[in-house]
């Protein structure tokens, strides 16, 4: 998305450059021409906000204004690395750097100060050409990430007054957590950010990355301050506004989660309108919004969000528009399928209108998995033996396909390749219970619990849409095993504070007979 209101970014004369306005305030001393400074300042603020396409556009405008401005090419290259999401487009970054000069040595020669050479040298490490025979592409990326983090640590210590060095050093640390959330690394990054924040209280990168450090239920109270501040300093950055809900959701603050995602979607749609595009109706922010509405028990509002996404998914073409979804499958169909699954699971309305909504025309394996799981649970609940057999077979088939796709990605986080097996175990457990095989049902559900417990700590709406401890708790409650059920619901709530169904289950298990 391109920036909608560059006029709100003010240029202050001289160096360092200050960018102030709707996307945050960043001071970054540089040797670029005066004509390039406003766009460079915009790019820096947007880069810290993870508004990557808009940041790249701003840096390219700075390059046009000053073709020899080394840091403008550094900035564009940085927009192709998304450390928290473990995404990187090394080819695009190398192409951007090559427009400055064809070799790393020639590019470094164009950086006029030692500090700028250090910044450019670090990004050269991040995107160094892979070596043949030295492992898979994913393994080579992991190795580059580690070398880049070491280079950023050196840059930070060499220039202790450079707040952006602190911010990007902390972000580089987060980018080394390849197997999922690594709490020691996240806390090490938080320590750097907290110290810098004492002197730079409105720096968008410091606030943003602190939220990422703290967006789990255990540490979320430490992130409340950053959450309250960040959206205020970057009110036109959709991702900045949404990020505050990472803390609110982790604490079960549902009204705040609703309000921030409504505002984030509005900010995104202002940018889209400036490009002549229609509103965004699917993806990351609507997904979080729908989840928060469901936790408030506001199913009509959740259905409205879901219906809007459904309409968009029905219009989707096979070539998916690149977006800001941050979800494993960024198609509109996958977004709709996942929101629909959550709605059906949490409303319990497995026979109503939403249950009858069909798979959209463009539907990849992850969308089909969510539909298959919902279909299997509905058939089991109805006691329809024939439909159950078909649905369970479909769930297993598409589950294998999803797992194969995830394995092919070489993604070190096992969450999405394990998800199909957890779904299968959950459905099989409920089917066994419906057949009064209670011992078999419990065994299957506990297997699902063990798999989910082995996954890295996640953030946001649960990756396992029917949390296993919650499902096991309800099974135990139906068996009148209240003490055991209470323990399961308490564990579920520790992972997802304030989750409505887990809280209701705990209350039911605690109530006097």
Q: How confident is the model at residue 139, as a pLDDT?
A: 85
Q: Three-state secondary structure along 250-274?
A: HCCCHHHHHHHHHHHHHHHHHHHHH
Q: Taking a C-beta distance cutoff of 8 angstroms, is the pair 164, 26 a contact?
A: yes
Cβ distance 471 to 448 under 8 Å? yes
Q: Does residue 320 fall inside a structural domain?
A: yes
- Say yes or no to pLDDT of 81 above 80: yes
**What range defines the domain where residue 342 resides?**
280-348
- For residue 299, being part of any structural domain is answered with yes
Structure-token pair, residue 17: 């450059």
pLDDT for residue 134: 65
- Alpha-carbon gap, residue 24 to 204, rounded angstroms: 5
Question: How would residue 470 be classed by pLDDT, with cut points 50, 70 and 90?
Answer: very high
Q: Which residues pair with 26 in a beta bridge?
A: 19
Q: Is residue 441 part of a domain?
A: no
Identify any residues that bridge with 28 across adjacent strands, giving them in sequence order. Answer: 17
Q: Is residue 309 part of a domain?
A: yes
348 has pLDDT over 80: yes
Q: Does residue 343 form part of some domain?
A: yes
Q: Is the pLDDT of residue 150 over 60?
A: yes
Of 93-97, 139-143, 245-249, the least confident: 139-143
Based on the structure, what is the number of domains in the chain?
1
pLDDT > 70: what percent of the chain? 92
Question: How would residue 323 be classed by pLDDT, with cut points 50, 70 and 90?
Answer: very low
- Residue 378: inside a domain: no
Among candidate residues 143, 140, 204, the one with its CA nearest the CA of residue 168: 204
In this prediction, residue 279 has a pLDDT band, given cuts at 50, 70 and 90, of very high
pLDDT-derived band at 458 (thresholds 50, 70, 90) equals confident
Q: Is the pLDDT of residue 75 over 80?
A: yes
- Relative to beta strand 87-88, strand 81-82 is antiparallel
Give the pLDDT score at 353: 95
What pLDDT digit, counting tens, does each position of 214-273 carry?
999 999 999 999 999 999 999 999 999 999 999 999 999 999 999 999 999 999 999 899
CA trace torsion 336, 342, 346, 352 (10° rounding):
30
Say if 300 falls within a structural domain.
yes
- Pick from 101, 141, 102: nearest CA to 125: 141
Percent of the chain whose predicted confidence (pLDDT) is above 90: 83
pLDDT of residue 324 exceeding 70, the answer is: no
d(CA 318, CA 299): 30
Q: Is the pLDDT confidence value at 88 over 80?
A: yes
**With bands split at pLDDT 50, 70 and 90, how would you rate the model's confidence at 97?**
very high
Give pLDDT tens digits for 363-417: 899 999 999 999 999 999 999 999 999 999 999 999 999 999 988 887 778 999 9
220 touches 247 (CB < 8 A): yes
- Does residue 370 lie in a domain region? no
pTM: 0.90
- pLDDT 10s digits, 4-43: 222 232 222 223 333 334 899 899 999 999 999 999 999 9
Q: Which of 234, 244, 225 is nearest to 288 (CA)?
A: 244
Residues 40-51 have pLDDT tens digits of 999 999 999 999
Give the range among 232-246, 254-268, 316-330, 488-502 with minimum mean pLDDT: 316-330
CA–CA separation, 20 vs 234, rounded Å?
9
């Amino acid at each position: 998305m391109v920036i909608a209101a560059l006029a709100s970014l003010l240029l202050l004369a001289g160096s360092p450059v200050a960018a102030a306005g709707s996307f945050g305030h960043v001071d970054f001393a540089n040797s670029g021409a005066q004509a390039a400074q406003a766009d460079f300042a915009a790019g820096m603020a947007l880069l810290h906000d993870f508004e990557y396409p808009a940041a790249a556009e701003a840096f390219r405008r700075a390059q046009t204004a000053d073709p020899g401005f080394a840091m403008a090419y550094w900035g564009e290259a940085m927009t192709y690395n998304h450390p928290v999401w473990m995404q990187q487009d090394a080819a695009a970054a190398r192409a951007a750097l090559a427009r400055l000069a064809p070799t790393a040595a020639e590019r470094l020669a164009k950086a006029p100060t030692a500090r700028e050479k250090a910044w450019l040298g670090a990004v050269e490490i991040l995107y160094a050409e892979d070596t043949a025979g030295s492992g898979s592409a994913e393994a080579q990326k992991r190795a580059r990430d580690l070398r880049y983090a070491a280079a950023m640590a050196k840059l930070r210590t060499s220039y202790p007054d450079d707040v952006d060095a602190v911010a990007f050093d902390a972000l580089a640390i987060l980018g080394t957590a390849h197997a999922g959330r690594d709490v020691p690394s996240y806390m090490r990054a938080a320590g750097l950010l907290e110290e810098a924040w004492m002197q730079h209280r409105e720096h968008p990168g410091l606030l943003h990355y602190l939220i990422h450090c703290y967006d789990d239920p255990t540490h979320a109270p430490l992130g409340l301050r950053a959450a309250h501040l960040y959206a205020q300093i970057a009110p036109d950055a959709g991702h900045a506004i949404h990020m505050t809900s990472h803390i609110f959701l982790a604490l079960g603050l549902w009204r705040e989660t609703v309000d921030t995602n409504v505002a984030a979607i509005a900010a995104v749609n202002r940018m889209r309108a400036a490009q002549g595009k229609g509103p965004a109706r699917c993806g990351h922010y609507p997904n979080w919004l729908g989840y928060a509405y469901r936790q408030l028990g506001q199913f009509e509002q959740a259905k409205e969000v879901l219906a809007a996404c459904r309409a968009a998914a029905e219009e989707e073409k096979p070539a998916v528009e690149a977006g800001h979804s941050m979800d494993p499958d960024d198609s509109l169909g996958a977004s709709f399928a996942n929101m629909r699954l959550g709605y059906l699971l949490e409303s319990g309305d497995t026979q109503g209108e939403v249950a009858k909504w069909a798979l959209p025309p463009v539907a990849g394996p992850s969308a089909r998995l969510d539909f298959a799981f919902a279909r299997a649970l509905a058939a089991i609940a109805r006691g329809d033996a024939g439909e159950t057999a078909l649905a369970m077979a479909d769930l297993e088939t598409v589950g294998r396909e999803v797992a194969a796709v995830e394995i092919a990605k070489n993604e070190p986080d096992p969450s999405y390749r394990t998800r199909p097996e957890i779904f299968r175990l959950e459905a099989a457990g409920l089917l066994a219970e419906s057949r009064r095989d209670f011992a078999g049902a419990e065994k299957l559900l506990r297997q699902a619990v063990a798999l989910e417990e082995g996954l890295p700590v996640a953030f946001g709406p649960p990756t396992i849409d029917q949390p296993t401890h919650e499902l096991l708790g309800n099974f135990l409650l139906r068996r009148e095993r209240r003490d055991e059920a209470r323990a399961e619901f308490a564990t579920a709530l520790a992972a997802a504070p304030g989750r409505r169904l887990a809280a209701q289950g705990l209350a039911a298990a605690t109530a006097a007979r």
